[in-house]
Amino acid sequence: MIQRSAKRLSMRALVVDDELPNPTAEGRASRALVEELQARSVEVVEAASAQDGMSVVMSDSAIHAIMVDWTLDDDDGHVRATELLRFVRSRNAKIPIFLMAERGEASSIPIDVMEMVDEYIWTLEDTAAFVGGRVAASIRRYLEVMLPPLAAAVMKFSQVYEYSWHTPGHTGGTAFLKSPVGRIFFDYFGENLLRSDLSISVGALGSLLDHTGPIGEHEKYAARVFGAHRTYCVTNGTSTSNRVIFMAAVGRGQIALCDRNCHKSIEHSLVMSGGIPSYLVPLRNRYGIIGPIPPANLKATAIKAAIKANPLVPKGADTRPVYSVVTNSTYDGLCYNARRVEELLDPTVDRIHFDEAWYAYARFNPIYRDRHGMHGDPKDHTGPTVFATHSTHKLLAALSQASMIHIRSGRVPVEPALFNESFMMYTSTSPQADTMTARTLLAWAALACSTAPVSAQILPADRTTAWHPGVPGGVPPGASTRTGQPASARWRATTMPSPPLLPPPTSTTSCPAQSRLSRGEAQ
Ligand SMILES: Cc1ncc(COP(=O)(O)O)c(C=O)c1O
C-alpha cells in the first residue's frame, strides 16, 4: 500500500491569551479549552500578546477561528483586545471570533466590540467540552461558506472516494504509480491535484458546455463578483475568450473596429470570420510608449470617414460596424476611461469589447473606478452590449489558461443559445477541473480583498492629448528604441494621420507594460 500523500483540510484556531502559561483559574480554563480543541483535531496556535496575535493573523491565512482574551496584556481598558479585534475584522469579515471574558465583565463590552464578535466564552463558567464543540462547529460552518460552488463540489466529491473509471486516463493519478518515472510525477504534483483532475462525465460537477450544476453556479458567482450580467469561464486563456466573442459577433464581410494594438487572437478572429477590420490607431509617444486611441478618433464622424476611406470595404457593403475591440489597459499599462469610451462609441456600434487580459483586478480597487469594462453597477447598464475578457491567470491568482468572459447585455442583447455555440466551438469537451476550481477560488479572493496590485497608469480618455508630449523631432538620448524605428519616424507615426490601410496590428503575447513599469521606466 502506498503511503498517504493526499492532504486533508485541517482545522486551525488561534487563541490569544497572555494568561495561557499561568497557573491561575483563567490560565487553567484557557489551557483546558486548548486541550479540548486539540482532542477534536483542531490545531491550536497560541499567541501571548495582542501584537503576537496580529502577527499570526497577518502571516497565517489558514486560521479558521480566533479566541481573544478581553483583558489581554493585563489591560483593564481593553484597548489591546479591541485593537486586535479591529485588525482581524479589517482583514476578514467572516472568520468566527470568540471573546473570552468573565461574566462580570460583560457590561464593559461596548457595542462596537459586540458587533465584531460572534460569541462569548465565559471562561470560568462554561465547560471546555461544550465550548470546544461550539468552536469546532463554527469552524466547519466557516469552511463551508468560504468555499465557492465549484471548489466545494470538487472537494466534496473527493470525500466520496469514488473510483475513477473514466477520463482522464491516469484515473486519479493511479496510472502514474506503475512506473518509476510516473511515481516521481505523482509525488511531485501530489495526490490531491491528480484526484481532482476529473472528467466532464462526473455529473456532480456539472458541465462547462451547458453551464449547469456547480460549474454553472460558479459562473453566476463570478458574474456577481466581477459585476457582469453573465460570466463564462474559459479554459484556454483570453486568446480563446477573444475568439469566442469575435466569432459570435462578426460575420463574413461585416466591419469590426479593431484597436491596432490588439492581441493576435483578434487578428486570428478576423481571418477566421472574414470580418473587415477598420483600425483604431492609438497614440505612441517619443519614448515608444503606446498610448490610448484619441477620443476624436472614436467619434461617429471620424469612424465613418475612416470606413469610407478603407479600401478593404467593398462597394455596397453595410458600413455600420458590428463590433469594436479596445485593448485596456494598453500594452504599456495606460487605462481608458471606459465609461467615456462607451459614450463615444455608442452612436456607432452595438457591441464594445474591452480586452482586459492584464487587468482583471481593476474592479477591486477604487482608483480604477470607471476605467474598466465592468465598471459601476450592472443594474444601471444601458447602451451597447459590453464584453470584458480577463486572463485571470495573469494578474489574479488562477492557474495557467484560466480566463473569463464577462458580459453586460445592452440594447442588442446577447442571445445565450447563439453565444454558447461560439463558446462551444472553442471549448474542449474535457476541461480541467483544477483550472476551473482555481478560478472560483480566485473570485472569492478578489471579493475578499479590498485592494489589488497597482500595475497600470491611469489616463482619462479625454486627457489623451495632454499625455501626448507634442515636442516635434526625435527622441532624447537614451530613450527606448523598442519599436526599432528611427526616432523621427516613430514620432511621425504618433502625430500624423494613419494611412488608410495599415500593416497588420502589432501583436504580442507579452505585456511590456508590466516589465517596463516594474523597471520604473513608464512614468
Ligand atoms: C491584450 C491581450 N489579450 C489577450 C491575451 C491572451 O491571453 P492568454 O494568454 O490568457 O490567452 C494577451 C496575452 O498576453 C494580451 O496581452
Average pLDDT over residues 189-215: 88
Distance 241 CA to ligand 1 centre (A): 9
Question: Which ligand 1 atom minimizes the distance to the CA of 401?
Answer: 10
Q: Give SS3 for 325.
A: strand
Q: Looking at the predicted structure, is the pLDDT value of residue 511 above 50?
A: no
CB 186 within 8 Å of CB 194: yes
CB 100 within 8 Å of CB 16: no
User: What does the block give as the cell for 178?
Assistant: 506503475
| Long-range Cβ pairs for the range 380-384 (8 Å, 24+) | 381/229, 381/408, 381/409, 381/410, 382/410, 382/411, 383/342, 383/343, 383/346, 383/410, 383/411, 384/342, 384/345, 384/346, 384/349, 384/350, 384/351, 384/352, 384/410, 384/411, 384/412
Nearest Cα residue to 91 out of 423, 448, 412, 472: 448
CATH among 3.40.50.2300, 3.40.50.720, 3.40.30.10, 2.60.120.430 for 11-146: 3.40.50.2300
State the residue for C-alpha cell 474592479: 363
Element (H, E) at 255: strand 255-259
* Predicted local distance difference test score (pLDDT) of residue 130: 96
CB 351 within 8 Å of CB 325: no
Instruction: Name the fold adopted by 207-518.
Output: Aspartate Aminotransferase; domain 2 (3.40.640)
For 514: left if phi > 0, alpha if psi spans -120 to 50, otherwise beta; the answer is alpha
What amino acid occupies position 59? S
Question: Which ligand 1 atom minimizes the distance to the CA of 241?
Answer: 11
* Predicted local distance difference test score (pLDDT) of residue 340: 97
Comparing 423 with 435, which gets the higher pLDDT?
Answer: 423
**115-149 residue pLDDT tens:** 999 999 998 898 999 999 999 999 999 988 888 88
pLDDT band at 199 (very low <50, low <70, confident <90, very high): confident
* Predicted local distance difference test score (pLDDT) of residue 106: 82
Pairing outcome for strands 230-234 and 119-122: unpaired
Q: Looking at the predicted structure, is the pLDDT value of residue 492 above 60?
A: no
The per-residue DSSP string of 238-254 comes to HHHHHHHHHHHH--TT-
Nearest Cα residue to 502 out of 238, 274, 239, 262: 262
pLDDT band at 378 (very low <50, low <70, confident <90, very high): very high
State the residue for C-alpha cell 504509480: 177
Average pLDDT over residues 350-359: 97
- Model-level pTM? 0.80
The CA-atom distances, in angstroms, between 260 and each of 325, 413, 507 are 9, 26, 9
**218-250 residue pLDDT tens:** 999 999 999 999 999 998 999 999 999 999 999
Ligand 1 probe mutation, 265, 268, 426, most atoms within 8 A of CB: 265
* Predicted local distance difference test score (pLDDT) of residue 520: 33
Side-chain half-sphere of 344: how many Cα atoms within 13 Å?
A: 21
Name the packing angle between helices 213-226 and 149-158 (round to 10°): 150
Highest mean pLDDT: which of 7-16, 51-60, 326-335, 446-455? 51-60
Alpha-carbon span 85 to 138, nearest angstrom: 18
**Sheet with 351-355, side-by-side order of all strands:** 230-234, 403-408, 385-390, 351-355, 323-327, 255-259, 276-280
pLDDT band at 440 (very low <50, low <70, confident <90, very high): low
Domain boundaries, given as residue ranges, for the chain: 11-146, 150-195, 207-518
Distance 510 CA to ligand 1 centre (A): 7
Question: Which ligand 1 atom minimizes the distance to the CA of 510?
Answer: 14
For ligand 1, residues with CB inside 6 Å are 237-239, 242, 263, 265, 327, 355, 357-358, 391, 403, 509, 511
**385-419 residue pLDDT tens:** 999 999 999 988 888 889 999 999 999 999 999 99
Asked which of 26-40, 282-296, 337-351, 368-382 is least confident by mean pLDDT, the reply is 282-296
